[in-house]
Chain A
Amino acid sequence: MIKLAIYGKGGIGKSTCTANLSAALASLGKRVIQIGCDPKADSTINLLRGDPVLPVMDYMRQYDEEPESIEQISKVGYGGVLCIETGGPTPGLGCAGRGIITTFSLLEQLDLFGRYKPDAVLYDVLGDVVCGGFAAPIREGYAEQVLIVTSGEKMALYAANNIWQAVKNFEDRSYAKVRGVILNRRNVEREEEKVRAFTDKAGIEITADIPRSDDIIRYEDMGMTCVEGDPRCEAAGRFLALAKTLIDEDERNG
Chain B
Amino acid sequence: MKNAARIIPCYSADTSGVCSALYELGGLTVVHDASGCNSTYSTHDEPRWYDMRSNIFISALTEMDAIMGNDEKLIADTVSAAKDRKPAFIALCGSPMPMMTGVDFDAVAAEVEARSGIRTFGLHTNGTRSYIEGASEALAAVVREYAEPCGKVRGRVNVLGLTPLDLPLGADKHIREWLASHGFECGCTLAMGDSLESIKKLPSAEVNLLVSEAGRGAAEYLKKEYGIPCICGVPFGNGFADELAERLRSAANGSKPVALSTAEAGQAEVIVIGEGISAMSLAEALRRDLGLNAGAINTQPSEGAASGDVLSCEEDIEAALLELRPKAVVADPLYRYILPAGTRLIEVPHFAFSGRCFQRAMVNLINTDIKEYFK
Contacts and interface: CB of A to CB of B under 8 A. Distances in A.
Interface stretch (B32-40, B101-109, B185-193, B210-218): B101-109
Contact of A172 (B69, B102, B106, B111): B111
A197 to B, nearest CB: 30
B69 A173 contact: no
A98 B102 contact: yes
Classify the interface of chain A: helix, strand, loop or mixed: loop
Interface string A148-184: 0000000000000000000000101111000000000
B359 to A, nearest CB: 36
Contacts of B69: 131-132
Contact of A133 (B102, B107, B111): B102
Contact of A174 (B99, B100, B110): B110
A172 B101 contact: no
Contact of A132 (B104, B106, B111): B104
A97 B66 CA distance: 14
B110 A173 contact: yes
Nearest to B66: A132
Interface in B31-81: 69
A132 B102 CA distance: 5
Contacts, number: 34
Nearest to B107: A173
A97 B102 contact: yes
B114 A132 contact: no
A183 to B, nearest CB: 31
Contacts of B100: 95, 98
Contacts of B106: 140
A106 interface: no
A136 interface: yes
Contacts of A132: 69, 101-104
A202 to B, nearest CB: 22
Contacts of A136: 102
Nearest to B124: A105
Contact of A131 (B99, B101, B114): B101
A101 B100 CA distance: 9
Contacts of A19: none
Contacts of B104: 132, 135, 139, 173
Nearest to B100: A98
Interface residues of B, number: 12
Nearest to A104: B102
Nearest to B98: A132
A236 B106 CA distance: 40
B111 A173 contact: yes
Contact of B107 (A101, A131, A140): A140
A240 B99 CA distance: 40
A95 B69 CA distance: 15
A131 B67 CA distance: 9
Nearest to B106: A140
Nearest to A141: B106
A135 B114 contact: no
A11 B42 CA distance: 50
A175 B108 CA distance: 12
Contacts of B110: 172-174
Contacts of A101: 102
Interface string A98-118: 100100000000000000000
Given A131-B69, A132-B69, A172 B114 contact: yes
A133 to B, nearest CB: 5
Contacts of B103: 132
Interface in B203-250: none
A135 B104 CA distance: 10
B3 to A, nearest CB: 12
Interface string A226-244: 0000000000000000000
B111 A135 contact: no
A139 B99 CA distance: 15
Interface string B100-143: 11111011001100100000000000000000000000000000
B301 to A, nearest CB: 14
A97 B110 CA distance: 23
Contacts of A139: 104, 107
B107 A174 contact: yes
Nearest to A170: B107
Nearest to B115: A172
Contacts of A95: 100
B71 to A, nearest CB: 9
Contacts of B101: 98, 131-132
B133 to A, nearest CB: 13
A163 to B, nearest CB: 16
Given A132-B104, A174-B107, 13 more contacts: A97-B102, A98-B99, A98-B101, A101-B102, A131-B102, A133-B102, A136-B102, A139-B107, A173-B104, A173-B107, A173-B110, A173-B111, A175-B107
Interface of A: 95, 97-98, 101, 131-133, 135-136, 139-140, 170, 172-175
5 contacts: A98-B101, A132-B102, A136-B102, A172-B110, A175-B107
Q: Which 10 A/B pairs are nearest by Cβ-Cβ distance? A: A132-B102, A173-B107, A101-B102, A133-B102, A132-B101, A98-B100, A139-B104, A172-B111, A132-B69, A97-B102
